[in-house]
Amino acid sequence: RKFRRVAVPVNPPLEDTELPLERRVARFPYVPADPQRRDARCQEVYNIQVQALAQRLSASGMKKVVIGISGGLDSTHALLVCAKAMDALDLPRSNILAVTMPGFATSTRTLQQARRLMAVVGCTASEIDIRPSCLQMLKDLGHPYANGEPVYDITFENVQAGERTNHLFRLANFSNAIVIGTGDLSELALGWCTYGVGDHMSHYSVNASVPKTLITHLVRWVAESGRLGDDGAQVLLDVLGTDVSPELVPGGADDKPEQKSEASIGPYELQDFNLYYTLRYGFAPTKVAFLSWTAWRDREAGAWPEAGHVARNQYDLAAIKRNLKIFLDKFFRTSQFKRTCIPNAPKVGSGGSLSPRGDWRAPSDSESVVWMREADTIPDETPKG
């Protein structure tokens, strides 16, 4: 068979090799910028989480849940889901046994937010100071902190996370309840959780396929809906204004957290972007970086969700590359073993799930070499012709 060849002249802009996309790439792939679509997304996600938890309670014959409340973003949203699930089952919200557990680094701000939140939700609220039991554990280990030395290593952090989870599970045993996990999809992707007896574990994890950027908008959506009244809306807005921190390392004299999650794992807005295009489409690092640069290089270009509420950041190619490499190494090399044994959780949305029983299956002993090698080919700045 003969083919006819048709010559088509192509005149690329040789003086500028950026070749930017003509279309816009959304900065927040999990969060629509259009208000109506965003409200519909929030409504759908919220309903999926609520109905999934209600079904789990019905299937297990349980009528009570236990949940740890830190005064931070994830546990706040998980508590809202628990409250709505109780309403859906015609059970009193007092069946939610909510516990805030201050440790060595808990700030006054988050502790007060936890107390206020539990009060407006109407759950059964309690407070357990975990410092005595943590100190006993540190003494048993021979840890320097038990002798007054300011050593704040991973063991020091994980002792606190473990004590909190241990208390929750024993309270659930004692109360014939199930423990509700609060960790989100972004944390699972990056392994930002304490394995086993820590915030990694629960009986049912309502947030496990909801990324951090979407949880932020879900909490604001509930606040603006008036579901919790004026007092409830205010505490939700206060939570949204709080730096994301595990609060496991004591801060300075100003009672502010020493740790900020994004200082260690990168901005969640970038990491959620990386997660979406890696998990949903399987794009190579170079393509993810190009799309990210297209979306984030100019704060004045494109639509933003919720004017005035979202920090209008922009990132150059060097920052995009640096944070993408953090994501790739943590996602492919260091975190899969945590995801192979995560609790049951509802799948929310088409952005993907990291459950080994669903969307994502990978060996726990894998390496990130191939992805990191390609990421190294990304230039540190945009090339010019």
List, in order of start, the domains of the chain with CATH numbers: 35-375 (3.40.50.620)
Among 69-78, 213-222, 299-308, the range scoring the smallest mean pLDDT is 299-308
Residues 6 or more apart from 15 whose CB is under 8 A from it? 385
Whole-angstrom CA distances from 365 to 149, 331, 359 are: 36, 12, 18
Band (123; pLDDT cuts 50, 70, 90)? very high
Res. 107: pLDDT tops 80: yes
The yes-or-no verdict on residue 165 having pLDDT over 90 is yes
Token duo for residue 124: 């059964």
pLDDT band at 243 (very low <50, low <70, confident <90, very high): very high
pLDDT, tens digit, for every residue of 31-90? 999 999 999 999 999 999 999 999 999 999 999 999 999 999 999 999 999 999 999 999
DSSP letter string, 66-91: EEE--SSHHHHHHHHHHHHHHHHTT-
Q: Which helix (H) or strand (E) holds 38?
A: helix 35-60
Check residue 385 and give its pLDDT.
Answer: 46
Say what the pLDDT of residue 73 is.
96
Please state, for a pLDDT cut of 70, what percent of the chain lies above it: 94
pLDDT, mean of residues 218-223: 95
Residue 188 pLDDT > 80:
yes
Two tokens, residue 182: 């609060």
Confidence of residue 6 (pLDDT cuts 50, 70, 90): very high
Residue 364: how many other CB atoms lie within 10 Å = 12
What digits encode the pLDDT tens for the residues 339-373?
999 999 999 877 678 888 777 889 999 999 999 99
CA–CA separation, 68 vs 165, rounded Å?
Answer: 8
Encoded tokens for 373: 């090698």
- Per-residue pLDDT, averaged over 251-264, amounts to 78
101 in Cβ contact with 131 (< 8 Å): no
pTM listed for this prediction: 0.92
Residues in contact with 251: Cβ distance below 8 Å, sequence separation at least 6, in sequence order: 105, 107, 257, 258
Across residues 119-139, what is the average pLDDT? Answer: 98
Mean pLDDT rounded to a whole number for the chain: 92
Beta bridge partners of 61: none
Least confident piece of the model among 91-95, 121-125, 242-246: 242-246
| pLDDT of amino acid 14 | 56
